[in-house]
């Protein structure tokens, strides 16, 4: 048929190197890579961006609080105790010892964020290490590591945190240690399941066939693909960690007075709940805002990472 027509298109040269079908002249856009795509998707997610702005603001306020607090957060006044919100001197009222609530909330954010975020970071490092090792090596090592992790799962996390904190004694360092111990098993479990999944991908087999050592395969081929999901899970733990940390302080196992910390403030203001409930609820509101912001941001991050991966 094509012979009869002089204007017949040239027969597709499928044996040749460059296939004509591939040479369509479309403008090539340089790829931004995986994280570039996640970033641009995140920027277009209003909820995640608002949450990120709230977190950023609170972190900045907390970091610079010693210089920007309107009043001395430690100086009390017996005459001006439990002023309501909107007072002419105290913008957010005063606590049971007449100290400015706004200043104490600003300064308290430092400790609350510190003992809320640090355990998650530590647990992210330790838990990922355990989980990735167990998931990649498999076999008896997986059994030993993951069964040990399962033992920690038998305890409710609040109970475990209180038990460890109680055993170690009160103090910021000890509450960070106990909270880390609470989160390591959870992160290790996620890391193990993600790694087991990635390990069975053909590109890991292809890397083994290239003769690469286990360490090189882990570093080049596995790590980049497992850290993302683990990181998302870890960010969702920050809110839990903040609440647990505040809980420990509330029980007197964390920060000691007169240091301002949201959980501890909640505890000391508990006596004022009938006198001035709005002021007494303020530290709780701060915890709520920070933890829900972390949760919303983590949700946004998770959906942004669901680009074709």
Partner 1 sequence: MSTLTGAVPTDRDRGGPGQPLLTVEGLVKHFPVKKGLGGKKAVVRAVDGVDFGILKGETLGIVGESGCGKSTTARLIMGLIAHDKGDLLFDGERIGSRALPLREFRAQTQMVFQDSYSSLNPRMTIEGSIAFGPQVHGVPKRQAIERARSLLARVGLEPARFAARYPHELSGGQRQRVNIARALALEPRLVVLDEAVSALDKSVEAQVLNLLMDLKQEFNLTYLFISHDLNVVRFICDRVAVMYLGQVVEIGPADTVLANPAHPYTAALLSSMPSMDPDARTQVAPLAGDPPNPIDPPPGCRFHPRCTLVEEVCRSVVPPLDPVDPLHRVACLARQPGSGHSLAPMMTVAA
> Rule CB under 8 A: which residues touch partner 1?
14-19, 22-23, 28, 30-31, 33-34, 201-203, 205-212, 216, 220-221, 224-225, 308-309
Dump strand ranges (E) for 77-176.
none
Shortest separation between residue 297's beta carbon and partner 1, angstroms: 22
Helix, strand, coil percentages, rounded to 5, for the chain: 70, 0, 30
Shortest separation between residue 304's beta carbon and partner 1, angstroms: 15
Q: How far apart are CA 95 and CA 261, in angstroms?
A: 13
Cβ distance 17 to 23 under 8 Å? no
Cβ distance 116 to 161 under 8 Å? no
Q: Give CA angle at 182 (181, 188), nearest 5°.
A: 80
CB atoms within 10 A of CB 235: 20
Shortest separation between residue 22's beta carbon and partner 1, angstroms: 6
At 302 the three-state DSSP class reads helix
Paired with 94 in beta bridges are 100
Q: Whose CA is closest to 50, among 280, 296, 216?
A: 296
What does the radius of gyration of the chain's CA atoms come to, in whole angstroms?
A: 27
Residue placing its CB nearer to partner 1 in the complex, 67 or 202 = 202
Shortest separation between residue 288's beta carbon and partner 1, angstroms: 36
Residue placing its CB nearer to partner 1 in the complex, 6 or 16 = 16
Residue placing its CB nearer to partner 1 in the complex, 37 or 268 = 37
Shortest separation between residue 295's beta carbon and partner 1, angstroms: 26
Residue placing its CB nearer to partner 1 in the complex, 210 or 271 = 210
Residue placing its CB nearer to partner 1 in the complex, 2 or 210 = 210
Cα dihedral 36, 41, 42, 46 in deg (nearest 10): 150
Shortest separation between residue 42's beta carbon and partner 1, angstroms: 17
Residue placing its CB nearer to partner 1 in the complex, 103 or 195 = 195
Q: What does the chain come to in residues?
A: 309
């Amino acid at each position: 048929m094509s012979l009869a027509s002089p204007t017949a298109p040239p027969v597709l040269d499928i044996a040749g190197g460059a296939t004509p079908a591939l040479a369509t002249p479309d403008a090539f856009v340089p790829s931004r890579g995986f994280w570039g795509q996640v970033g641009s998707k995140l920027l277009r997610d209003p909820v995640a961006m608002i949450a990120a702005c709230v977190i950023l603001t609170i972190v900045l306020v907390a970091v610079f609080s010693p210089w920007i607090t309107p009043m001395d957060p430690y100086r009390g006044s017996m005459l001006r105790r439990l002023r309501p919100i909107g007072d002419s001197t105290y913008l957010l009222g005063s606590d049971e010892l007449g100290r400015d609530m706004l200043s104490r909330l600003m300064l308290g954010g430092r400790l609350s964020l510190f003992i809320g975020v640090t355990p998650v970071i530590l647990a992210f490092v330790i838990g990922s290490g355990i989980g990735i090792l167990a998931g990649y090596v498999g076999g008896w090592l997986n059994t030993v590591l993951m069964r040990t992790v399962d033992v920690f799962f038998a305890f409710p996390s609040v109970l475990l945190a209180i038990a460890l904190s109680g055993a170690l004694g009160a103090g910021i360092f000890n509450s960070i240690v106990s909270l880390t111990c609470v989160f390591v098993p959870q992160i290790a479990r996620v890391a193990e399941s993600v790694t087991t999944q990635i390990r069975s991908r053909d590109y890991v087999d292809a890397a083994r066939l290239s003769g690469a050592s286990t360490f090189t395969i882990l570093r080049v081929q596995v790590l980049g693909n497992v850290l993302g999901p683990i990181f998302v899970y870890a960010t969702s733990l920050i809110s839990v960690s903040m609440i647990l940390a505040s809980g420990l302080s509330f029980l007197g196992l964390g920060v000691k007075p007169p240091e301002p910390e949201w959980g501890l403030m909640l505890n000391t203001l508990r006596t004022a709940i009938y006198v001035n409930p709005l002021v007494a609820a303020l530290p709780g509101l701060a915890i709520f805002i920070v933890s829900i912001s972390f949760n919303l941001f983590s949700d946004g991050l998770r959906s942004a990472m669901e680009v074709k991966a």
